[in-house]
Every structure is written in C-alpha cells, then in structure tokens.
Chain A
C-alpha cells in the first residue's frame, strides 16, 4: 500500500473546481494527458504512481474515465463537496461551449463551408481514433499469448462488423475473457 503523500497545501473546493475546469478547457482529443499535467506536474496533488493507480481504477470502472477521475480526486481532497466541485468544474464550461457550437450549427449548418469544415474535422477525428486503436492494440499483440488477440478480434467482429447489441454481447465476451484469463494464468 503506497503511503499517500499529502500535498503541501490541501486544495480547497475552488481549487478543485478550477483545476478540472482548466483540464477541460485545454483538452482537445482527450482530457487525460492534461489531467496528468495539472494534477501531478503543476499542482502536485498526486504523485506519478498515485495518478497511474487512480487512473487504472477509473478506466476499469464503467463510465467516462475522466469524470470518474474527477470523482476519485475530488472525494480524496474534499469528500462529497470536493467530488461535486471537481465534477462541475469538468463539465460546466464544456457543456456551455459545446451547446454554443451546436446552436451556431443549428443556424448555419447548411452553409457549404461549415459543412465542409465538419467533414474535414470528422475525417481527422477518425484518424485520431485509428491511431489510438493502434497504440492500444500493439502491446496486446506483442504479448505472444493467444487470448488477448482472440478476444480483441471477437469484440471487433461482434460489435464492429455484426453490430450486435452491446448490452448483451459485451457482458458475454467479458465473462468468457475473464474466465479464460483465470484458467490460463
């Protein structure tokens, strides 16, 4: 058990709110890299290892990773109020901005230049996700074990190609994958 090292000055609710709002405002294509910079490097609230462990939990639990992270960090430094402050910091400003953009789209969505810009953004965004998929898949393939690639492929076929409903396909895959991972280790 790692001994949590208390930060020099415990963050106030306002600090939590501002820290997560800063993460949100800087985050294009994913909040997590900015969360690391803000929480570990700039503010020193968490050590590198604490951040990685907390993030591991947040990735494992259901729901958006970054919103889970705001709850875990907020709770640690400020209980329920802290978690709420961090959560609202993360989402408040982002929702206002994205709805502003959506309203502009509602008015000018038919303008060819805007339509073209959105096409361009979507094509780049698809590329960003493709590179994330590559980055995540390579370590799984390099392990020289057949189970991880098999379940990666099964998930891709079931959800991506066959478009089976996630709500029953994924729990079945998870049960199979966890069971076999237990038997083979």
Chain B
C-alpha cells in the first residue's frame, strides 16, 4: 500500500463513523479532502467519477471505490470500500439485537430525534456541493431542476433520467 492509500484508508475509516444518512452524505467532506486538501484528484476527475458511480448499478459507496482506484488501482479500490463499510458493519453486527430491545427507551428516542436533522442537513450539503460542481452551463442547471422536479413529484425510475441526461450530454447540450 502506498502512503497516499494508507492516509486515505485511515481518513475514510474515521469518516465512515460519521456517515449518518449514507455514504452520499460524505461527498462534500470527501471533496474537501481529496481535491482541496490533498490534490489527489482534479475537480474534473472528481465530477467524472461521481457521474460514473451514478451510472453504475449498486450502492452509492461505489464513488469511494473509484477514488480508491484512482489513488492506488484495484488494491486502492478494495481498501477504500472496506474502509467505508467495515466499521459500520462491525457496529451493526454487535448492535443488531440490542436495538430492538431498547425500542421504547427514552435515550434511543432522544438520540434518533437529535440525529435526524443532521442527516437531512448533510444531504442538503451534498446537493449544494454537487450542484456547484455539475452546473457550469445554463442547460445543466435546467437539467438539474427538471430531474429534481420529476423525481420529487413522480415515481419515475431514476435510471431513465440519468439516461436522458447522458444522451443530451453526449449530443453536446450540456
């Protein structure tokens, strides 16, 4: 493992402990670290990998797989994915039974109540950061707003929206 990869694994491992609301919520922080701070990826590469991860089937965490791949090939891909997943997996393994037992405990309710607004706040941050990265062109802004409206108001499969975006982009509109 390269020193860059070891640094990445440690940082992602720590971050994964704060990934309330899923790995996607970490996007702004990952951008801060890998683009602004470490310079492992350019803005362009960051955005491209994000798009590739969205276009591929599977969990959102695949974006982090790709950053690991960029830093250190297949080893990097596996190490970054594991760093994101294993801490949470270990917690889940230990807590799975206990959580049901404390269902009505006031502390559990209080913790859930306290964490919920942060989860939502993090998703808003992700939307903000991704809009800033993706929408450099007026047509991209239109595409973003249209996609948001359609997926907010209908149950259209997001795959088709992504496909439309890809087609319009390939045709040179974005």
Contact of B148 among A58, A99, A131 (CB under 8 A): A131
- CB of A62 within 8 A of CB of B16, answer yes
Interface size for chain B: under 10, 10 to 19, 20 to 34, or 35 or more residues?
A: 35 or more
Distance (whole angstroms) from the CB of B65 to the closest CB of chain A: 6
Residues of B50-106 contacting chain A, CB below 8 A: 50-62, 65-66, 69, 74, 77-78, 81, 84-85, 87-89, 91-93, 95-96, 99-101, 103
A131-B149, A155-B121, A156-B128 as given contacts; A63 in contact with B159, CB under 8 Å:
no
Q: A98-B52, A102-B49 are in contact. Are A61 and B88 (CB under 8 A)?
A: yes
**A160 near B28 (CB under 8 angstroms)?**
yes
Beta-carbon nearest neighbor of B159 in chain A: A28
Query: Are B100 and A127 neighbours in the complex by a CB distance under 8 Å?
Result: no
Most buried by A among B23, B62, B69: B62
Question: Chain B: which residue is nearest A182 at the CB level?
Answer: B110
Residues on A with beta carbons closer than 8 Å to the beta carbon of B120: 133, 136-137, 140, 148, 152, 155
User: A67 vs B161: C-alpha distance in the bound complex, in angstroms?
Assistant: 25
Contact digits for A116-141, partner B, Cβ 8 Å, 1 yes 0 no: 11111111111111111111110010
Q: Beyond A27-B59, A61-B95, A64-B22, is A133–B84 a contact (Cβ under 8 Å)?
A: no
- Chain B contact residues, majority secondary structure: helix
- Per-position 1/0 for A32-74, Cβ under 8 A of B: 0000000000000000000001101111111111111001100
From A62, A76, A109, give the contact of B20 (CB < 8 A): A62
Residues on B with C-beta less than 8 A from A115 are: 48
How many residues of chain A have a CB within 8 Å of chain B? Answer: 98
Q: How far is the CB of A31 from chain B (nearest CB, A)?
A: 5
Once the chains are docked, how many angstroms separate the CA of A95 from the CA of B148?
A: 27
Our pick among B57, B81, B112, B168 for the contact of A27 (Cβ within 8 Å) is B57
Known: A62-B19, A76-B96, A125-B51. 17 other contacts (CB 8 A): A61-B95, A62-B20, A62-B87, A64-B59, A98-B65, A114-B170, A120-B174, A123-B147, A126-B144, A131-B149, A133-B120, A134-B148, A152-B120, A156-B125, A159-B122, A166-B28, A181-B113
| Interface, chain B (partner A; CB < 8 A) | 14-24, 26, 28-29, 32, 36, 47-62, 65-66, 69, 74, 77-78, 81, 84-85, 87-89, 91-93, 95-96, 99-101, 103, 109-131, 133-135, 137, 140-141, 143-149, 151-152, 157-159, 161-162, 164-174
Q: Interface of A with B (CB < 8 Å)?
A: 1-2, 24-31, 53-54, 56-68, 71-72, 75-76, 83, 87, 90-91, 93-95, 97-99, 101-102, 105, 109, 112-137, 140, 147-156, 159-161, 163, 165-167, 170-171, 173-174, 177-182, 185
